[in-house]
Structure 1
Amino acid sequence: NFIFSNKKSLLTFEHQSDRRCILHSLKVDEDRTVVIDGAGINIVDFPYSKEPLREIPVVLFASRLLWSKGLTDLINVKNSLHLEGVEFTLNVAGIPTPNDPDAIPLGFLEEAHNKGEINWLGKCDDMKELIKDANIVALPSVYPEGIPRILLEASSVGRAIISYNVGGCSSLIENDVNGFIIDKGDINALAGCLKHLVINADVRGRMGENGRKLIEGKFCSTIITKDTVNLYGYLLKNKAE
Structure 2
Amino acid sequence: MRKLLRNLLELLRSKNRKRKKLPAKIAVVTNSSWYTYNFRLGLLRRLKDLGFEVHVIAPKDHFSSKLIAEGFTFTHLPLSIYSINPFKELNLIRSLSKIYRQNQFDFVFHYTAKPNIYGSIAAAFNKIPSIAITTGLGVIRDRKTRISKYVLFFLYRIAAVLSKQVWFLNNDDMEMFLKKRVVKKSKAFLLPSEGVNILDYRPEFENEFSGDRPVKFLYAGRIVWSKGVKEFYQAALHFKNAGINVEFSMLGFIVPEHPDAVSFNLVQQWHKEGVVKYLGETEDVRPYLNETDCLVLPSYFGEGVPRILLEAASMAVPIITTDFVGCREVVDDGVNGFLIQVRDEKDLINKIKMFQELSPVSRFKMGAEGRKKVLREFDEEIIIGHYLQALEHYIQFKGSHKKKSVHL
Q: TM-score, normalised by structure 2?
A: 0.54
What is the CA-CA distance between 1:228 and the residue it aligns to?
A: 1.8
Matches within 5 A, 1:15-30: 15-26=170-181, 29-30=184-185
Counterparts of 2:329 and 2:390, CA distance in 1: 20
For structure 1, which runs of at least 5 residues remain unmatched after alignment?
none
What is the CA-CA distance between 1:193 and the residue it aligns to?
A: 1.0
Counterparts of 1:109 and 1:229, CA distance in 2: 43
**1:188 and 1:109, CA in 2 relative to 1: closer, same or farther beyond 3 A?**
same
Q: Which residue of 2 aligns with 1:232?
A: 391
3-state SS of paired residue (2:338):
strand
Q: Which residue of 1 aligns with 2:197?
A: 42
For residues 182-202 of structure 1, what are the alpha-carbon distances to aligned partners after superposition, in whole Å with 9 as ceiling and x for unaligned? 221122211111111122133
Counterparts of 1:212 and 1:59, CA distance in 2: 18
* Percent pairwise identity: 26
1:13 paired to 2:171: no
RMSD over equivalenced CA pairs, Å: 2.0
Aligned counterpart in structure 1 of residue 262 of structure 2, from 104, 110, 125: 104
Bigger radius of gyration, 1 or 2?
Answer: 2
Q: Which has the higher contact order (CA 8 A, sep 6+)?
A: 1
Q: For the Cα contact (< 8 Å) 1:51–1:135, is it kept in 2?
A: no
What is the CA-CA distance between 1:95 and the residue it aligns to?
A: 0.9
Amino acid at match of 2:332: E
What is the CA-CA distance between 1:86 and the residue it aligns to?
A: 3.3
What is the CA-CA distance between 1:94 and the residue it aligns to?
A: 1.0
Counterparts of 1:77 and 1:140, CA distance in 2: 11
Q: Which residue of 1 aligns with 2:281?
A: 123
Q: Which residue of 1 aligns with 2:312?
A: 154
Counterparts of 2:285 and 2:160, CA distance in 1: 40
**1:98 and 1:2, CA in 2 relative to 1: closer, same or farther beyond 3 A?**
closer
1:32 paired to 2:187: yes
Counterparts of 2:263 and 2:159, CA distance in 1: 41
Aligned pair count?
A: 236
Counterparts of 2:300 and 2:161, CA distance in 1: 34
Counterparts of 1:65 and 1:5, CA distance in 2: 36
3-state SS of paired residue (2:296):
strand
3-state SS of paired residue (2:279):
strand
Q: TM-score, normalised by structure 1?
A: 0.89
For structure 2, which runs of at least 5 residues remain unmatched after alignment?
1-156, 397-408
Q: Which residue of 2 aligns with 1:135?
A: 293
Counterparts of 1:29 and 1:198, CA distance in 2: 46
Counterparts of 1:146 and 1:42, CA distance in 2: 17
Counterparts of 2:167 and 2:265, CA distance in 1: 41
**1:39 and 1:4, CA in 2 relative to 1: closer, same or farther beyond 3 A?**
closer
Q: Which residue of 2 aligns with 1:208?
A: 367
1:61 paired to 2:219: yes
**1:23 and 1:195, CA in 2 relative to 1: closer, same or farther beyond 3 A?**
same
